[in-house]
Structure 1
Amino acid sequence: MRKRSSQQNEDPGRIEPLAKLPVFWNLTDKRAVIAGGSDAAAWKAELLAACGAHVDVYAEAEGIGAAMQDLVEGKKVVVQNQPWHTGVFHGAVMAIADCESDDEARAFSCAARAAGVAFNIIDRPAYCQFQFGSIVNRSPVILSISTDGAAPILAQAIRRRVETLLPPSLKGWAATAQALRTTVNSQLEPGPKRRAFWERFVDRCFSSTKPPSELDRQELVSDVERLCSLPITGSVIIVGAGPGDAELLTLKAVRCLQSADLILFDDGVSSDVLELARREAKRMLVGAVEEDEPGRDMNLRQLVTGLARTGKRVVLLKAGDAAASEAVASMITELQMAGLQVDLIPGISESAGLSARGHAPAYVEATAPRARNARAQAR
């Protein structure tokens, strides 16, 4: 089983290092500058225009390609019949250039930097202040995929695969969410009720192949009204984190981690598993797997009970297969007697994990009787 370092135990990081910061920029009614009339420049110009920017293209008439001419005729961009110069950056928030040489790229980037304008030089990453990703467009849902310039074709392949996973109807559902947000925020306080509404919304969204109908919208409003009158109740989900390989978690376990308010974990839980958790969830290390201190289990039960009674969704991450643990079975019984809703999501043991990775013979589930008993008590 992979253990976390002592430094990780003290500060369980919420995110691994990023090559670049992914951001989404509001360009509505903002001025953007394009230098060059090539087809590559035209693609960037069309992208900026699609975001609502006012795009000025600086290129002489003989340098305007067919793709850029189509944008001009469609009144998506305005061509200034002249090459770029240091004065073109005034009032712009973004500048993009298709440069023929490193010298021109260097001059453009220096001029944009001096003017305080973010800049990108097409296919010259050394002179770029920001980069474009491969885009999946279900606006207002937008995904951008980047490989930090290492393999653009890989980013495109990932985009194609993601496209097949996201139904076209997602666009309509996202627009409905946007329209409902003010109502939801005004009637449901931040916390369990509001999250319960959006989780139900997501279930509806991905179970439908069609855009939301008027009946769907009415039912969503009814959900808000119903949740307003319900009492706040917390829940406890005990999740077996397995031997440390995040790929061996079940889909249900991942969904629980991504909807938790509080995550309690022992030091047998790997950083890879914690990386899948909801970013906003508070995390708390509650002991080492080897610990057998008197009263430790009792203290943990009291902690879990107290947190859940505040209306929080508490996830207790246990290394290995939580369903095979007699201590977990006992905890489930006591939490249920305290009136809490408890669920159990089994993990896999170290032996099964090795087998799944091809390092050991097929695993014989000697712990099956205990696992069945624990699951039965969870029900």
Structure 2
Amino acid sequence: MQILSRPQNSPSPGSIGELVVLPVFFNLQGKRCVVAGGTAAAAWKAELLAAAGASVHVYTGAMSEEMSALVAAGTCIHHPRTWLKTDLRGAAIAVADAATEQEAHQFRDAAVKSGVPCNVIDQPAFCQFQFGSIVNRSPVVIGISTDGAAPILGQAIRRRIETILPVSLAAWAQLAKQLRSHIADVLQPGRQRRQFWEHFVNRTFEADAAPDESIGLVARAGEIANDSSGKTGTLTVIPVESDDPEFLTLRAMRQLQMADVIFHDKNVSPAVLQLARREARRIALGHETFHDNNKAKQLCSAGKHVVVLNGLYAAS
């Protein structure tokens, strides 16, 4: 079998495409965060920070009705004065609703000197991070960013995701957290653990209600651990009829997410390969068709899930 070589400086077919921003998640439990300003917009940011477990300190003279309600409820700690540079020292995050561009500049400079990530509401030029739209199924949290270009689009995407993800997802994620150490103890890394978690995920999206089956899942883990016949992997051939990944079937998507090794010919686009499991090994075929590949048989015998992507459309 011929393996195509790749130019030294070109990205691999499965590599991540260019990102305009890097999505990250801050752990703010018990950490001090600063909010400068008492407007309704500042109150919304303060409420988000508090929801993430932060100790939110608000520096402002006048407060909106929304901010007053947060302070009265004990959600925030109010300091009835304008913020000072020293207030930012040691903070995990700093947010301001600046009345002028000069104040925004001063706040950003003070945050940078204190080594604190900052956000100036509705002034992207002075922001080091963005909040974006949020889908909350905590501990599953999904952040959506359009880099400030189209907030309405971000909100529309959030609504679409909200309709797809069941409310019970939060309870399933909590159950996964509870089972994690037990699964690590009874199942071997690699095939066994992935087999269990694939079963878990299938149950997550098949069930209509919150999970009440931890005993059954523990029993399923025991069955996988005692299965001595599971040394043979799988070989799945997926016809790819377009370079647009949206034309892939749901079954094809699941197989790509389960794959250990992916063989692909020259007609399969990088956009399709990006949908595969990140850890999967990708092997480019030469001009020949796949047919009966000895390497794939060896991988299956070793318990690997092998996927062959067969590009049927003409390469452009």
TM-score by length of 2: 0.93
- Please state if 1:112 is matched with 2:104: no
Identity of aligned residues (%): 47
- Mark the runs of 5 or more structure 1 residues left unpaired by the alignment: 321-348, 354-379
Give the AA of the match of 1:47: L
What does 1:1-379 correspond to in 2, within 5 Å?
A: 7=7, 11-60=12-61, 63-213=62-212, 216-231=213-228, 232-288=231-287, 291=288, 297=291, 301-320=293-312
Runs of 4+, deviation exceeding 6 Å: none
Kept after mapping to 2: 8 A contact 1:137/1:143:
yes
Q: Does the Cα contact within 8 Å between 1:9 and 1:267 map onto a contact in 2?
A: no
CA contact 2:36–2:96 (8 Å) conserved in 1: yes
The equivalent residue for 1:367 is none
Give the superposed CA RMSD: 2.1
Contact 1:134 1:146 in 2 (8 A): yes
Code of the aligned partner of 1:258:
Q
Q: Secondary structure at the match of 1:45?
A: helix
SS at match of 1:92: coil
List gaps (5 residues or longer) in structure 2.
none
Cα contact 2:14–2:282 (8 A) shared by 1: no
Deviation at 1:277, TM superposition (A): 1.0
Structure 1 position 269, deviation (Å): 0.7
For 1:162 and 1:287, locate their aligned partners in 2 and report how far apart those are by CA, in whole Å: 39
For residues 76 and 127 of structure 2, what CA distance do their matches in structure 1 show? 23
Q: CA deviation at 1:258?
A: 1.2
- Give, in whole Å, the separation in 1 of the partners of 2:11 and 2:149: 34
Which structure has the greater CA radius of gyration? 1
Q: Is the 8 A contact 2:235 2:306 kept in 1?
A: yes
TM-score by length of 1: 0.78
Structure 2 vs 1, CA of residues 182 and 207 (structure 1 numbering), >3 Å: closer, same or farther? same
With over 3 angstroms needed to count, the CA separation of the structure-2 counterparts of 1:85 and 1:317, relative to structure 1, is same
Where 2:158 maps in the other structure, the secondary structure is: helix
Q: What's the CA shift for 1:5?
A: 11
1:10 Cα deviation from its structure 2 partner: 7.6
Residues 79 and 174 (structure 1 numbering): CA distance in 2 closer, same or farther, change over 3 Å?
Answer: same
SS in 2 for 1:315: strand
Q: Distance in 2 between matches of 1:158 and 1:5?
A: 39
| Inter-CA distance 266–71: structure 2 relative to 1 (3 Å threshold) | same
8 Å contact kept, 1:265–1:287: no
> Contact 2:240 / 2:310 at 8 angstroms: preserved in 1?
yes
